[in-house]
Amino acid sequence: MDVYAVVGRSSVEQIEAGVYHYEPNGHALTYITKKDVRDRVAKASLSQMWMAHAPLNIVITAEYSRITVKYKERGIRYAMIEAGHIAQNLFLQAEALGLKASIVGAFHDNELIEILKIPRTHEPLLIMPIGYAA
């Protein structure tokens, strides 16, 4: 699994706008692009433009080969279960921080891959817009 953060301009304290990849080793973020791409992400999500108002959109992807090498075809099921676990933890953490999170499964995979510069071997599974309640 991989996790990407789409951060808006003047949206998240101490983090500039852009797309970041989460690095579990070291609990760090690495830059992918420095642009605010929330509008593009929302358009790629069947124009659910409400998503662009969230300061942060988190994208969860899977690279199936990492798990199917061990579990074969069944590994795909495990990756999807894991995506649900990650999303649920993000919901819990958002709630603990007084934030609101939502879940978006409706998007054009190829458009999202293009915008976020996700490796072609990864499949985006979920987008989670996160922010304060309106």
Ligand X SMILES: Cc1cc2nc3c(=O)[nH]c(=O)nc-3n(C[C@H](O)[C@H](O)[C@H](O)COP(=O)(O)O)c2cc1C
**Judged by CB under 6 A, which of 104, 115, 116, 130 binds ligand X?**
104
Candidate ranges 32-40, 69-77, 100-108, 115-123; the one touching ligand X (CB under 6 A): 100-108
119 binds ligand X per the rule CB under 6 A: no
50, 42 Cβ separation under 8 angstroms = yes
48 binds ligand X per the rule CB under 6 A: yes
112 binds ligand X per the rule CB under 6 A: no
Q: Which residue is nearest to ligand X (CB)?
A: 105
What span, in angstroms and rounded, lies between the C-alpha atoms of 91 and 93? 6
| Cβ neighbours of residue 23 closer than 8 Å, sequence gap 6 or more | 29, 30
What span, in angstroms and rounded, lies between the C-alpha atoms of 51 and 27? 26
Candidate ranges 33-41, 55-63, 101-109, 113-121; the one touching ligand X (CB under 6 A): 101-109
What span, in angstroms and rounded, lies between the C-alpha atoms of 88 and 17? 25
Binding footprint of ligand X on the chain (CB under 6 A): 48, 103-106
